Structure formats: C-alpha cells, structure tokens
Amino acid sequence: MVADFESSELAGVSKSQNDANLAAFDATLNQAGYNKTDLYTMASWLGVHIDTNTSNNGWIADYPNNPTGSKYTSANAWQWASDYRFPSINQNMDVSQMNNDFYLNSTAGSTTDTSTPTTGSSSSSSSSSLSSSSSSISSSSSSTTSGSTSSTPGEIVKVPGPSGKQYSASRSKSVKLVWRSNMGRHAYKTTDGARYSKHLGMRYGYNSDMPDITWYTDAHEKLYMKNSGHYAIYYHVKSANGQHGGWIWRGYLNK
C-alpha cells in the first residue's frame, strides 16, 4: 500500500505531524496484515513537509528535462515524467524507474537496494491517529506491476499507480470555455505555474520541475473564471521533442 502524499492541504500541516500520520498509516496497515508500505510524494516536499522512514524508502516524483537514471537511487522508485508520449500512444503517460524489486517482489523489503533512506519518524509513532489531513491511500500490491515492460531493477519502465498528476473536479467546473483555436508557433520559457488539460481539470505537472525546457505554442483558448468573474488566456504548448505539453496561463510564459 502506498500513501499518496501530494494534496495541497498537507502543505499546511507541520512536518512532524505529517511524519506521525505516515507512521500511523504504516502501523494501521501492519495491524491489518499489510506489511509492505511506501510513500509517494514530490521531491520538493521531502524534508520540508514529509520524511521517508524505515518502512517507506519512497516513490519520488521529479521531472528533469533529460532524465539520466541517476536520481533518488535510495528510493524504491523515481517517477521522471507525468506527460511523456510514447510512439503510437496518443496520450500523456506517467513514467517511473524502479530502483529495486520492491514493487515486483511480493515479500516485504528490497534485496537489491542497500542505500540508507532518509530518516523520518519511525513506526514506533504508531500511537498517533490518522487525522483528516493525512495522505490518501492507494493500492500498490502486485497488480502495480501490470503493464511494466521489464522486471530489471534500474530500467525505465511504465508503472501504473500513484500519479504525479492531480485531477480536480472543482477546478474544472470553475471555468467556462469562451473560445479555442489554433495559433502560430512561438517559443517560451517558464518556471511558474503548471501545465493542465484543456478544461484545467487535470494538472500534468509544475513548470518549476522542468526549468530548462523551451515550450512551443500550437493553440490558445479563452476561459471565463466563474469564481472571480475574470477571463484568462491559456496557451497550449509542447516541448521540442513532443514528449511533454499542456495548457499554461499566458501570464506565466516568457520569451
């Protein structure tokens, strides 16, 4: 079982409380007979809002421009893209690299990774109760590996399960499309904001995670923001290799 720790509300909870909640999550599952747990979160939140611990080496999300396979080697897995395009697959895909056999082996623990995880709260904090602000739970049992293209530790494979993406029905319902059309190709850079689907329901990832990418436009849209009564222009952009993309608010894009 994996604690999917990425809800924005959790950033308002102290790290010590989040660590205690994670330990309680582990203890509760252990008592129910689930002895294999992990933590999914963004790299920028580690040590700031949450720690890994002896039970959770981590499934870390971080999206560099050119992934090399050398990041977060002490973690169980590294998600290096949330909007990757594979040949002949016409949709954005989450892609992760497994650093060991944790998600392939049904037994608890890893036999191939001897790195020491970041020290956080230990499972002895199990007396802490899971609060309403604790991370959500998603399954990472043996079914997690279905669809993987390899069982070799360290090889980049597709791994379904917790996602770096975030879907918000309320965000999608808060906007109304005024118009959408194609536009010319213009180059932009940004480290602000995020990339979204066309109605803003799905957030593909934060632009700060890909600071070196040049984005190229091919469409734009005007949205009415129901909550504020204002209008906003979003550009649809793609990376030069076409493997990343989404809709970004025009105000975040710089020449």
Within a domain: residue 51? Answer: yes
Structure tokens of 84? 């990757």
40 assigned to some structural domain: yes
Q: What is the pLDDT of residues 41-100, one digit of tens each?
A: 988 888 999 998 888 899 998 887 777 767 888 999 998 888 888 888 877 888 888 889
For residue 193, being part of any structural domain is answered with: yes
Asked if residue 152 belongs to a domain, the reply is no
Cβ 64 vs Cβ 71: under 8 Å: yes
Residue span of the structural domain in which 82 resides:
2-98
Residue where one domain finishes, among candidates 72, 98, 124:
98
How far, CA to CA in Å, does 255 sit from each of 168, 185, 187, 245, 248? 30, 12, 7, 17, 14
Among 98, 122, 155, the domain boundary falls at 98
Which of 63, 80, 98 terminates a domain? The answer is 98
Domain count of the fold of the chain: 2
Report if residue 113 sits inside a domain. Answer: no
Residue 80 contacts residue 156 (beta carbons within 8 Å): yes
Task: Flag whether pLDDT at 159 surpasses 80.
Answer: no
Residue 118 domain-assigned? Answer: no
Q: What does pTM read for this prediction?
A: 0.49
- Helix spans in the chain (H): 15-31, 169-173
